[in-house]
């Protein structure tokens, strides 16, 4: 029996959910924004907005220039999470191997649940119909079906809106890749494209035919992954575990600036949010990642392991703030991000060194107060005036939903 993987990707998801909730938004260009100020970033565009040139990443002022009557709404994370839970509940009924990849994407291993690719295609239409009937008739999805996880994702990326694309034959890979750019491939961004170009790799076909040994010498394990996926070898298993591999928050600043005092305040709030999620999951982290991007392009990032495991927002901010303080800002900062990885179950082991003790009881008490009375009940003075900034947001990577 062939391995059969299905990848579902909701089309224009946040915008479609808003149009589902408000019929007056339907058939009109609509953008969902991180915030509504003129420099706010559009994080999702409706199908109609894309047709007039308003795409994800566009700024509010740019969208209004492109189409003055565009409808702009601020994102509503709870609304999208609730809708996603309903969709994922439908999907889970068709397999015992289900991976919620992001807020609007999921993988299903249908091997053994359907007898062939034709039956998988029929199942895809049933899933699409159930989503429309049971969740919302304005919601659309692209579905890809193939024999590897990578190719299933590629097929859904290539499928038209609300359509299904199937790829079943390894001998037809050349035809599949013929018109694709490197950046059309899942996992290849602009930076990796430039590195591949230096090796004389300019197309997906070039990458497929390139020496795997040379790729491994240049990229290490990543080189083998690239070559294997492009050549139709299955090396990716579905991630069925509910535990996150990393926890992080980022924020596109409404005020682009080099003012480190302001940036430090926002960074502290992001660190507190990361710490709160660590506490909720009863986890601790061994690696800290800090990044900011500049207005004119590029940015700065630092990732390092820590001597003591990070458990609280205060400890995360102490190290992240030090990174910000010690490094020169080359331009105005437009985005800040902080995350932790190397996650382990929480334990409160005492240190051998007295100077290394943390204020665990104080941090536990602060967490208890905020959980019961809200985030604004008590906070560090440095965050005063930031109540409307770095609020709840949804990312497009690993989704975090209760029960998944």
**Neighbour count for residue 104 (Cβ, 10 Å):** 25
Tokens encoding 33:
């924004």
Instruction: For residues 362 and 279, give the distance between their C-alpha atoms in angstroms, rounded to a whole number.
Output: 13
Under DSSP, is residue 370 helix (H, G, I), strand (E, B) or coil? helix
Buried b (16+ CB within 10 A) or exposed e, 233-259: eeebebeeeeebeebbbbbbbbeebee
Q: What is the DSSP string of 178-239?
A: TT--GGGSTT--HHHHHHHHHTT--SHHHHHHS-HHHHHHHHTHHHHHHHHHHTT-------
Strands 42-45 and 30-33: what pairing?
antiparallel
Instruction: For residues 294 and 339, give the distance between their C-alpha atoms in angstroms, rounded to a whole number.
Output: 18
DSSP state of 347: -
Catalytic residue among 105, 160, 234, 402: 105
Q: Residue 119's closest CA among 151, 157, 164? A: 164
Q: What is the DSSP string of 65-97?
A: HH-TT-EEEE--HHHHHHHHHHHHHHHGGG-S-
358: exposed, middle or buried (Cβ count in 10 Å: 0-12, 13-18, 19+): middle
> Could you tell me the maximum CA-CA distance found in the chain, to the nearest angstrom?
65
Under DSSP, is residue 263 helix (H, G, I), strand (E, B) or coil? helix
Instruction: For residues 143 and 135, give the distance between their C-alpha atoms in angstroms, rounded to a whole number.
Output: 17
Our answer to whether residue 105 is catalytic in this structure is yes
| Catalytic residue list | 105
């Amino acid at each position: 029996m062939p391995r059969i993987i299905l990848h579902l990707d909701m089309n224009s998801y946040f915008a479609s959910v808003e149009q589902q909730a408000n019929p007056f938004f339907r058939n009109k260009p609509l953008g969902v924004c991180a915030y509504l100020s003129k420099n706010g970033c559009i994080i999702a565009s409706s199908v109609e907005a894309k047709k007039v040139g308003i795409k994800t990443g566009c700024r509010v002022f740019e969208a209004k220039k492109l189409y003055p009557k565009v409808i702009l709404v601020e994102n509503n994370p709870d609304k999208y999470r609730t809708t996603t839970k309903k969709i994922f509940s439908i999907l889970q009924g068709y397999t015992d191997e289900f991976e919620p990849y992001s807020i609007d994407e999921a993988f299903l291993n249908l091997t053994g649940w359907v007898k062939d690719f034709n039956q998988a295609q029929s199942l895809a239409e049933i899933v699409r119909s159930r989503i429309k009937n049971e969740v919302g008739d304005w919601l659309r999805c692209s579905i890809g079906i193939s024999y590897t996880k990578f190719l299933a994702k590629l097929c859904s990326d290539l499928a038209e809106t609300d359509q299904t694309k199937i790829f079943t034959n390894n001998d037809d890979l050349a035809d599949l890749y013929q018109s694709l750019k490197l950046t059309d491939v899942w996992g290849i961004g602009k930076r990796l494209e430039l590195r591949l170009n230096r090796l004389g790799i300019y197309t997906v076909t070039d990458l497929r035919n390139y020496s795997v040994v040379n790729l491994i010498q240049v990229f290490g394990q990543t080189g083998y992954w690239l070559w294997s996926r492009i050549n139709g070898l299955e090396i990716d298993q579905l991630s069925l575990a509910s535990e996150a591999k990393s926890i992080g928050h980022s924020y596109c600043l409404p005020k682009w600036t080099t003012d480190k005092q302001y940036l430090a305040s926002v960074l502290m709030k992001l660190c507190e949010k990361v710490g709160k999620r660590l506490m909720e999951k009863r986890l601790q982290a061994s690696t800290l990642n800090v990044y900011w991007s500049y207005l004119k392009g590029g940015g700065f990032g630092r990732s390092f392991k820590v001597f003591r495991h990070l458990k609280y927002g205060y400890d995360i901010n102490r190290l992240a703030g030090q990174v910000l303080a010690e490094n020169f800002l080359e331009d105005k900062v437009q985005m800040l991000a902080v995350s932790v990885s190397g996650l382990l179950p929480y334990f409160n082991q005492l240190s051998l060194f007295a100077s290394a003790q943390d204020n665990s009881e104080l941090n536990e008490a602060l967490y208890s107060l905020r959980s019961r009375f809200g985030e604004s009940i008590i906070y560090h003075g440095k965050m005063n005036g930031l109540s409307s900034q770095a609020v709840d947001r949804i990312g497009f990577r690993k989704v975090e939903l209760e029960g998944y």
